[in-house]
Amino acid sequence: MCAEPIEDRTAPGARPEAGGRVPAPIRALRPVQWLKNALLLVPLLLVHRAGEPDLLARALVAALLFCAAASAGYLLNDLLDAAADRQHPRKRHRPLASGELAPAGAARLALGLAGGAVGLGTRLGTPFAGMIALYLLLAGAYSAVLKRIAVVDVLVLAGLYTHRVLAGGVATGVPVSPWLLVFCLFFFTSLALAKRSVELRGLRGRELARIPGRGYASGDLGLLEAAGLASGYLAVLVIGLYVNFDAARALYRSPELLWGICPVMLFWVTRVWLLVRREALHDDPLVFAVRDRTSYLAGALVVALAWLASRGLPGAA
């Protein structure tokens, strides 16, 4: 399948986040971002225990509670970042930045979601409720201070993704492999750097020298792009190293098939950064991935290879 670059074709003055008739409070929750919380299911999937109903139910409930917690974090971020968002060609249409949603109402909604997520999280155990509370603390620190500190901000973003994986392990009682954690750190750092690189490239048409509310200037672009591509390649290297260790042989009948994931991931990571350079990548990597046919194809190949490796080649022990 031949895929086209994903571009933001929103016309000037259009409202890309208006969402038609979707009420402003719902849009402020950023429901598309809830897809990130599928990461809570990853530990269960990778140990091939997703077929156990009790564990799957716990993972799904945990993911739903993280949706509430994440939306509370997005509301707080938009409250603190409203002034900077008004200078952004797309973010200025967010409900708080545009004035569609009152700050007081957003604050009440954020508190209700955060309190509900932590309170209901105790049903899955105090440690899991603690993971939600820690996520909220990190997200709040990011919104208030850390997002303005260069490099620290992308590491915190990568950490918030990785935190979801850890929380999934806590919710289900499934240990999270150090291999998975290292992969997540490099992979999500690459995506966070891609986000910042796209924002820096966007400064060219806005006559700005710095990203409003962030710690980067236009001259930082080359370094961020080099670091982001390197981080993505290191994530692929982690997969290659994992194949040769006992951890893979304990879970997969034909772990050598996992080698096929490496070229798929190399292609995808390189393509993402190629689109960054061409200024054809959406400034939110998640939005890019859910709109991109090639990403779906790459994901399907990764899943197929992992499934075949777990089933084993004919004659495999």
Query: DSSP secondary structure string, 185-242?
Result: HHHHHHHHHHHHHHHHHGGGGGT-SB-TTSS-BGGGHHHHHHHHHHHHHHHHHHHHHH
- Position 209 scores a pLDDT of 72
Among the listed residues 312, 268, 255, 303, the one whose alpha carbon sits nearest the alpha carbon of residue 50: 303
Terminal-residue alpha carbon distance, the chain: 35
Q: Which CATH class is domain 23-147?
A: mainly alpha
Which pLDDT tens digits describe the chain residue by residue (317 residues)? 334 333 333 333 344 444 457 888 899 999 999 999 999 999 999 999 999 999 999 999 999 999 999 999 999 999 988 887 787 777 888 898 888 889 999 999 999 999 999 999 999 999 999 999 999 999 999 999 999 999 999 999 999 999 999 999 999 999 999 999 999 999 999 999 999 999 888 877 666 677 777 889 888 999 999 999 999 999 999 999 999 888 898 999 999 999 999 999 999 999 999 999 999 998 788 888 889 999 999 999 999 999 999 998 775 55
Tokens 């004035």 sit on residue: 99
Per-residue pLDDT at 13: 38
Beta bridge mates, 210: 217
Listed in sequence order, the residues at least 6 apart from 1 whose beta carbon sits closer than 8 Å to its beta carbon are 293, 294, 297
* Residue 316 pLDDT: 53
pTM above 0.85, yes or no: yes
Where exactly are the structural domains of the chain? 23-147, 177-317
E-only strand ranges, the chain = none
Provide the 8-state DSSP code for 176: P
Q: Is the dihedral of CA 3, 9, 15, 20 positive or negative?
A: negative
